[in-house]
Structure 1
Amino acid sequence: MLKLKTFISESYVEMRDKVTWPPYGELQNSTILVIVGCLVFTAMIGLMDLSFDSLMKFFYGQF
Structure 2
Amino acid sequence: MAGIANYITESYNELKNHVTWPTWPEAQRLTIVVVVFSVLFALAIWGVDTVFSSVIEQYFEWLKS
Query: Considering the TM-score relative to the shorter chain, is it more than 0.5?
Result: yes
- Give the number of aligned pairs: 63
Q: Tell me which residue corresponds to 1:16.
A: 16
Where do 1:18-57 residues align within 5 Å? 18-57=18-57
Runs ≥4 residues deviating over 4 A: none
User: How far does residue 32 in structure 1 lie from its aligned partner after superposition?
Assistant: 1.0
Q: Distance in 1 between matches of 2:7 and 2:45?
A: 41
Q: Distance in 1 between matches of 2:14 and 2:45?
A: 39
Share of identical aligned residues, percent? 33
Q: Secondary structure at the match of 1:22?
A: coil
Amino acid at match of 1:56: I
User: How far does residue 14 in structure 1 lie from its aligned partner after superposition?
Assistant: 1.1
| TM-score computed with the length of structure 2 as normaliser | 0.88
| TM-score computed with the length of structure 1 as normaliser | 0.91
Amino acid at match of 2:52: F
Structure 1: 5+ residue stretches without partners: none
Could you say what the CA RMSD is over the residues aligned between the two structures, in angstroms? Answer: 0.9
Q: Distance in 2 between matches of 1:60 and 1:50?
A: 16
